[in-house]
Amino acid sequence: MDDLVARLADVDARIAAAARVAGRDPAAITRIVVTKFHPAQLVARLHRLGVRDLGENRQQELSAKRAELAALTDLRWHFIGQAQTKKARAIRAAASVVHSVDRDKLADALDRAADGDDVLDVLVQVNLTADPDRGGVAPAGIEALAEHVAGCRTLQLRGVMAVAPLDEPPAAAFARLAGYAARLRRVVPDADWISAGMTADFAEAIAAGATHLRIGSAITGARPVPD
């Protein structure tokens, strides 16, 4: 069996097992394959294996892959990286979901970039560390940002996103995230997505209620060095 096929099957089996342990339905969990730094060809192979949800963290790479794979009209591209406001238009044109809304200005820029009445799914990224450079709104700002996003006509607030800190056990960090998700739902009750869990920590994320996993190297293999 092809390595990619084997790795995808292995990850999906581990997702299903972690869901069972947590008493959750694996079908309620979306596995996003993060393909950053890999060529569009890999995305095409994943598509042939049934993968539809893809993640990218850089606008230019997202836009290029989407253009190259325009024939694959059923792909859903998830933008998961830190976003500059000036890239909002290009991100909106390429992505079905933006996971990394962390400030009012970015929400406004994405909202202004709407094409007619189309609605963009977005998540509020929360910073689980004390380092402001890591991306995400500080927990104290969750409600204010959620209210701001909820007021953007062409954005649909879906939930929260976070990356586990490097210096803390992921289960503890994801438990905090579950609390932040509950706070967000007090502002927008149906915003119940939790985007969390990567190669190293997706089982812990599932245990803490993650609905959207962003898994790269466990499926794609090691990443090529970025240019």
Ligand X SMILES: *Cc1c(COP(=O)(O)O)cnc(C)c1O
Residue of the chain from 85, 154, 156, 199 that contacts ligand X (CB under 6 A): 199
163 binds ligand X (CB under 6 A): yes
Contact with ligand X (CB under 6 A) among 198, 205, 206, 208 = 198
For the bound state, the minimum distance from the C-beta of residue 212 to ligand X, rounded and expressed in Å, comes to 10
Residue 213 found at the interface with ligand X (CB under 6 A): no
Q: What are residue 156's phi and psi, to 5 degrees? A: -110, 110
Q: Indicate the DSSP class of residue 168.
A: S
The answer to whether 142 contacts ligand X (rule: CB under 6 A) is no
173 binds ligand X (CB under 6 A): no
Beta bridge partner(s), residue 160? 124, 194
Distance separating alpha carbons of residues 199 and 216, to the nearest angstrom: 6
- Would you say 212 and 195 are in contact if contact means Cβ atoms under 8 Å apart? yes
Answer for which of 83, 91, 120, 215 binds ligand X (CB under 6 A) is 215
Beta carbon nearer to ligand X, 182 or 200? 200
Q: Please report whether residue 123 would count as binding ligand X according to CB under 6 A.
A: no
Between helices 104-112 and 142-150, what is the axis angle to 10°? 10
CB-based contacts of 41, cutoff 8 Å, min separation 6:
none
- How near is the Cβ of 144 to ligand X at its closest, in Å? 23
* Residue 63 binds to ligand X (criterion: CB under 6 A): no
Helix (H/G/I), strand (E/B), else coil: 176: helix
Contact between 36 and ligand X (CB under 6 A)? yes
Near ligand X by CB under 6 A: residue from 11, 29, 80, 152:
80
Among 66, 78, 87, 214, binds ligand X (CB under 6 A): 214
**Minimal CA–CA distance to 120: which of 89, 161, 143, 147?**
89
154 versus 217: smaller Cβ distance to ligand X: 217
Reported in sequence order, the residue ranges of 26-161 that DSSP labels E, i.e. its strands, are 30-34, 53-56, 76-79, 97-101, 120-125, 155-161
Question: Is residue 160 part of the contact set for ligand X (CB under 6 A)?
Answer: no
User: Whole-angstrom Cα distance, residue 46 to residue 51?
Assistant: 5
210 binds ligand X (CB under 6 A): no
Interacting residues toward ligand X by CB under 6 A: 34, 36, 57, 80-81, 163, 198-200, 214-218
